[in-house]
Amino acid sequence: MRELSLHILDIVQNSIGAGAKTVRIAVNADTARDTLTITIADDGKGMSKEFAANVTDPFTTTRTTRKVGMGLALFKAAAEDTGGSLKIESEQGKGTTVTAAFGLTSIDRVPLGDLAGTLLTLVRGAPDVDYVLTCGSGSELAAADTRKIKKELDGVPIDTPEILIWLEEYIKELLETHGLLGL
Does residue 183 fall inside a structural domain? no
* Confidence check: pLDDT of 35 > 60: yes
Q: What is the pLDDT of residues 22-33, one digit of tens each?
A: 999 999 999 999
Q: What angle do CA 74, 110, 55 make, to 5 degrees?
A: 15
Task: Work out how many domains the chain is built from and give that number.
Answer: 1
The three-state secondary structure class of 99 is strand
Single-letter amino acid, residue 63: R
132 near 116, Cβ under 8 Å? no
Q: What's residue 8's pLDDT? A: 96
Does residue 182 fall inside a structural domain? no
Does residue 54 fall inside a structural domain? yes
Q: What is the pLDDT of residues 118-167, one digit of tens each?
A: 999 999 999 999 999 999 886 777 889 999 999 999 999 999 999 999 99
What domain range is 13 assigned to? 4-177
Q: What's residue 162's pLDDT? A: 94
82 near 103, Cβ under 8 Å? yes
* Confidence check: pLDDT of 66 > 50: no
Does residue 34 fall inside a structural domain? yes
Nearest residue to 4 via CA among 38, 34, 29, 35:
38
Q: What angle do CA 143, 117, 25 make, to 5 degrees?
A: 35
CATH of the domain at 155: 3.30.565.10
Question: Which helix (H) or strand (E) segment is 144 a member of?
Answer: strand 140-145
* Confidence check: pLDDT of 6 > 70: yes
Q: What's residue 60's pLDDT? A: 54
Please report which confidence band the pLDDT of residue 62 belongs to, taking 50, 70 and 90 as the band edges.
Answer: low
